[in-house]
Structure 1
Amino acid sequence: MVEAYVTIQTGAGTARDVVEQLRTLDNVVKASIVAGEFDIVAEVEADSERDLLGLISDDIQQFEGVGRTSTCIVLG
């Protein structure tokens, strides 16, 4: 199991819509709107690094309103 945190920048006024979409994904453990450089932090899980890549590039980055993402894989 691969665990990671994905930080997401969104377009103006889209953070709530994006976080609601994230919460519908099975691999998203938690998604929260935050203050700071990024607008959302999502805790995610995947069976492999390849599945994590698919979750981020095929799902999360395709949501309307999602701009830049950054992924931090949990090491321990």
Structure 2
Amino acid sequence: MAGTTEGGKKTSEGGRGNPQKASPSAVEHHIKGIHFPADKKALIDQAKANKAPDDVMYVLNQFSDKKYQSAIDVAKEVGNVE
């Protein structure tokens, strides 16, 4: 079964592999309200609270366990996710 994001892009649910990768702007949108510095868990918790779609959650779950100082750091990490 597939879900959709606000832009109508399909996302994968369940299974392994890379669902359509979320963009840095989509991730930033779904962590709105986060206070930096923030660690991976805080980013994931904020995204869940903001009802982030599967593609955003997939990307956040691939992040390194470290503190992110700003939205720019988060965007750079999104670029590192395969």
TM-score under structure 1 length normalisation: 0.31
**Greater fraction strand:** 1
Q: Which has the higher contact order (CA 8 A, sep 6+)?
A: 1
TM-score (norm 2): 0.30
